Amino acid sequence: MWDTKRGRHASSLRALSRFLLTATAVMSLAPLALVIAVRAQSTAQDPGVRGGPPDAGTFVTGLTTNQKGVEGTITGTFTEINAVTQTGNGATGNFGLGPRFNFNSCNGCHAQPAVGGAAPFTNGFFQVFDLNGALNEMPSFESEAGVMANARFPQVLPGNPYPIPAGFTQELFTITGRSDAGSCDLEQPNFNGAQAANDLIFRTPLPMFGDGLMEIIPETQLLANQTAECAEEASTGICGTPQLAPDTTISRFGWKAQERSALIFSSAAYNTEEGVSTEGFPNELDDTNPNCILNGIPEDHWNFINPSPHRFPGDPERQALFIRFLAAPTPAPPNSTTIAGQNEFNSIGCNICHSSPSPTQFKTPLSAISALSNQNVNIFSDLLLHHMGNCLADGVVQGVAQGDMFRTAPLWGVGQRIFFMHDGRTSDIVQAVEDHSDQWCTGGPGFTGYQASEADSVVAAFNALSTTNQQDLIDFLRSL
């Protein structure tokens, strides 16, 4: 799972949509509850996750012989299972898991429809929470057929055993009790208390297909698109904001675009999600109990013992290379229905934020990885932040992204996604469209005080379409 913290700072055929609630100290909230999402105005039906073989998960074409030679190594690094102090007991890769963690591998959270993707049908947290004798309790908001929900507390609650500043990731599990964790003794975060205080929001894993292309889209292209977008704000209500990295370049990884590069993203996620200290993030997540500091830090590092070209750099470098090599998802072949649906998508304004591909809109520059050079990036996103209203707001501030702001999620590959929105609240892509507007959103956290969603007029236009035109648009989305 790759939504990050250091800045910690990152239609399921079997799952019900969930009402995920959040809070902030300065805003009023609805009572905490779980409800089944109710269809709003639309009469279209989600046909469900597109069947057939995965149209993603392969590497880009045109890699050199030497680049192809590391494919097995970088894939192995992304899929390896990490232990606390040693391999064995089911571990296949590095050590350094914990002391706090969400999962023990990268692909456990990034598996749909292939390695590097989004959250899978089955919640993998149930495979790791008590692995090797761990004494964790499964948080009540997780379900085996539901989305893998990564928790955050928008407020800082008193009484938590390891208080993390507001909005940062609260790792679900600790290594306490594991056979390879010695006498480490840590408590899990107080999820029940957070839930009772309406102080619990969620993030879900993002797919990584095509991220190597996304990473190097020239900023001039993103800003030119922003200028054109904002020039029409008076009539559309839409004007995106770039997320800025510390060096003032445009960040683009994560739900709030909080990370700038695949390397920073992978290194921070390795630390946040698996608890492995790295040369980029060399401290343990929790050093309050010295009995839980079981390895020299950083636990993952460049290999100076019997180095080989494939194993010399640390895991984050190999993970970042895996991400960069992943090809963009391949859409289904267009037909008359999906062509009509894309026309409707454009006519009602979905393409303002979810920028539709054009021959010159987003194109990569000359790249050190020649296979990534001069490629059209049909990402269906402006990679900018937008105000999304009270229903989608999570109260978390990251960089310039306020509590109601999110990066426009890329739509390439959405046809094979199971869960939608930043918190995975629905597995119905029609409801996901409705959730872009407070007027028709269901399953929201119940914030008040934020401005209206920039997508209000677009969702209203969608609901005003005929049933046939709505269905064409939804079928187009499921073809991506």
CA dihedral 380, 241, 1, 87 (to 10 degrees): 120
Please state, in angstroms and rounded to a whole number, the distance separating the CA atoms of residues 156 and 149. Answer: 19
Please indicate, yes or no, if residue 425 is contained in any of the structural domains.
yes
Please indicate, yes or no, if residue 363 is contained in any of the structural domains.
yes
Please indicate, yes or no, if residue 6 is contained in any of the structural domains.
no
Please indicate, yes or no, if residue 9 is contained in any of the structural domains.
no
Q: Domain span at residue 428?
A: 211-256+335-479
Please indicate, yes or no, if residue 10 is contained in any of the structural domains.
no
Give the predicted TM-score (pTM) of the model. Answer: 0.89
Per-residue pLDDT of the chain (480 residues; tens, 9 = 90+): 344 333 333 333 333 333 333 333 333 333 222 333 445 577 899 999 999 999 999 999 999 999 999 999 999 999 999 999 976 566 667 789 999 999 999 999 999 999 999 999 999 999 999 999 999 999 999 999 999 999 999 987 777 777 788 889 999 999 999 999 999 999 999 999 998 888 999 999 999 999 999 999 999 999 999 999 999 999 999 999 999 999 999 999 999 999 999 999 999 999 999 999 999 999 999 999 999 999 999 999 888 877 777 777 899 999 999 999 999 999 999 999 999 999 999 999 999 999 977 766 899 999 999 999 999 999 999 999 999 999 999 999 999 999 999 999 999 999 999 999 999 999 999 999 999 999 999 876 668 899 999 999 999 999 999 999 999 999 999 999
Please indicate, yes or no, if residue 21 is contained in any of the structural domains.
no
Quick count: other Cβ atoms within 10 Å of Cβ 182?
15
Which residues fall within 8 angstroms of residue 65, CB to CB, at 6 or more apart?
Answer: none
Please state, in angstroms and rounded to a whole number, the distance separating the CA atoms of residues 467 and 465. Answer: 6
Q: What's the CATH code of the domain at 368?
A: 1.10.760
Q: How many domains does the chain have?
A: 1
Please indicate, yes or no, if residue 268 is contained in any of the structural domains.
no
100 neighbors 72 (Cβ within 8 angstroms): no
Dmax of the chain from CA atoms? Answer: 66
Please indicate, yes or no, if residue 399 is contained in any of the structural domains.
yes
2 neighbors 265 (Cβ within 8 angstroms): yes
17 neighbors 422 (Cβ within 8 angstroms): no
